[in-house]
């Protein structure tokens, strides 16, 4: 029986061990999509305890605590941090087979040197160990980023954001990890939201363009894109509930937008027509600027109205949306491709059933302008577990070129989440190592080194074109 989480954790063959320990293990991390707060990076404040860094804002953990019957006061309520940690420890004990069990113990091992396992009985020991280190030197946010061998971080930022903390970080010569903004314009697209008109007022103020038409909305966003570009932004990200493609004439889109400005109801069809026009306009601008477009889709959000109504979004009550037809995604990409305005694009679906459709779609739009111009993104959210990662890579290998895959992203609000890259790399090396051991790929270690280091880091550096 193998020891729990030893140095060969997940690596089941000698080839897998060689691929991981000789090629993947020491590669840096390019965190091209996350939800870290740039202000927290700049201020570099120490945490008082492990609950603050582990449980604050982590809806993955909140979801499982609810599944263990924990009262909300111990999850997002007014219980003490020590009480919340105890409830999480008791929950983790039940999480056999869940990636949170692996992630949590990798974090304890890599950042705090803890080789045991966390449960209700060991909670006090782990609490004291972690807190002693967090209060000492070397465990502030910047330290954790440097410990993780991260070279660059892309945060997630609204077009109206001032990016003041990115500017301060860029001017801070004491921290050599680049922290760049990423463009996330969903508030400008979500016309059905109750506060949409208020947002347009804010966008008008920061852009200097009065948003009173669809054309002026796009113009205001172009102004802000120029500002973001001046701050080093080269990546966009769109969070979509579903894939939409319902084209309309320019006149029809302007009429729809005018209805929303007037406070009149907009139909579901009209909403899709507006969103289609918005996404086509954005895609064309990304192409002009050589930005990468990320499309995250297939999620149905805020399903538990009681929790969402009290706590707001991103609180652990989202699920897979089964409505993500491949035909509409293909039509959207084609609308940009036919005019040679399709940017580099990464497709992520929350529904694992979409792996094959994505694999076939990306093959339709590859060209010589970039290696792997259209990417299937790494297994996302509910899929970033061992099975989900394996299935995503196997599907990509079956239908495309796994060797050109840009690999893992963090997609997290926690500075401890970089061990997810180790988890991914171990799974990737075990998968590839198994193919070699089974005679499905030669033991050509020159080629294997290129593939493994590429998926771990090098492919992303080339794809995004960062200056590292």
pLDDT tens-digit readout, 11-61: 999 999 999 999 999 999 999 999 999 999 999 998 999 999 999 889 999
- Which stretches does DSSP call E strand in 324-409? 344-349, 374-376
Q: With left for phi above 0 and alpha for psi between -120 and 50, is residue 371 left, alpha or beta?
A: beta
Report whether 295 contacts 347 (CB < 8 A).
yes
pLDDT of residue 241: 85
Confidence of residue 396 (pLDDT cuts 50, 70, 90): very high
Tell which residue, 439, 416, 318, 324, has the closest CA to residue 63.
Answer: 318
Is 55 in contact with 177 (CB distance < 8 Å)? no
Q: Residue 325: is its pLDDT beyond 90?
A: no
List the one residue out of 420, 407, 424 whose CA is nearest residue 459.
407
Tell me the two tokens of residue 291.
Answer: 């930005």
Tell me what the pLDDT averaged over the chain comes to: 96
Three-class secondary structure of residue 347 per DSSP? strand
Give the contacts of 404 (CB within 8 A, at least 6 positions apart).
371, 372, 454, 459
Rounded distance between C-alpha atoms, residue 387 and residue 427, angstroms: 9
Q: What is the pLDDT of residue 324?
A: 67
Place of tokens 């006061």: 73
Residues 6+ apart with CB under 8 A from 275: 189, 244
**Would you say the pTM of this structure is higher than 0.95?**
yes
């Amino acid at each position: 029986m193998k020891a729990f989480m030893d140095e060969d954790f997940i690596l089941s063959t000698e080839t897998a061990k060689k691929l991981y320990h000789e090629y993947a293990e020491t590669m840096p991390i390019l965190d091209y999509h996350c939800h870290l707060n740039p202000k927290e990076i700049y201020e570099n404040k120490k945490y008082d305890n492990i609950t603050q860094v582990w449980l604050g804002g982590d809806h993955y953990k909140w979801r499982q605590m609810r599944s263990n019957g924990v009262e909300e006061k111990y999850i997002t309520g007014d219980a003490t941090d020590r009480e919340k940690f105890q409830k999480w420890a008791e929950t983790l004990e039940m999480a056999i087979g869940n990636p949170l069990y692996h992630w949590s113990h990798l974090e304890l091992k890599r950042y705090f040197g803890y080789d045991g396992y966390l449960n209700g009985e060991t909670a006090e020991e782990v609490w004291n160990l972690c807190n002693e280190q967090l209060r000492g030197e070397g465990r502030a946010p910047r330290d954790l980023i440097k410990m993780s061998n991260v070279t660059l971080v892309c945060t997630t930022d609204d077009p109206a954001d001032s990016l003041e903390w990115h500017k301060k970080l860029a001017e801070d010569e004491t921290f050599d990890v680049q922290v760049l903004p990423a463009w996330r314009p969903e508030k400008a697209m979500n016309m059905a939201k109750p506060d949409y008109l208020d947002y347009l007022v804010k966008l008008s103020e920061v852009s200097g363009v009065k948003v009173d038409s669809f054309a002026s909305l796009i113009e205001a966003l172009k102004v802000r894109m120029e500002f973001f570009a001046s701050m080093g932004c080269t990546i966009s990200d769109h969070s979509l509930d579903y894939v939409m493609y319902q084209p309309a004439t320019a006149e029809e889109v302007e009429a729809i937008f005018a209805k929303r400005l007037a406070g009149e109801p907009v139909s579901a069809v009209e909403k899709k027509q507006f969103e289609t026009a918005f996404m086509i306009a954005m895609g064309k601008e990304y192409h002009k600027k050589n930005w990468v477009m990320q499309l995250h889709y297939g999620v149905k959000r805020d399903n538990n109205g009681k929790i969402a109504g009290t706590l707001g979004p991103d609180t652990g009550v989202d699920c897979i949306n089964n409505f993500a037809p491949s035909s509409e995604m293909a039509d959207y990409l084609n609308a940009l491709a036919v005019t040679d305005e399709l940017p580099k694009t990464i497709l992520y679906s929350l529904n694992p059933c979409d792996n094959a459709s994505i694999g076939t779609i990306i093959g339709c739009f590859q060209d010589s302008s970039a290696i792997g111009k259209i990417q299937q993104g790494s297994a996302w959210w509910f899929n970033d577990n061992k099975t989900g990662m394996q299935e995503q890579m196997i599907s990509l290998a079956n239908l495309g070129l796994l060797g050109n895959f840009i690999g893992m992203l963090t997609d997290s609000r926690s500075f401890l989440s970089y061990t997810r890259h180790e988890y991914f790399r171990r799974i990737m090396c075990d998968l590839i190592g198994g193919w070699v051991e089974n005679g499905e790929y030669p033991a050509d270690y020159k080629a294997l080194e290129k593939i493994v280091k590429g998926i771990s880091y090098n492919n992303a550096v080339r794809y995004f074109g960062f200056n590292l």
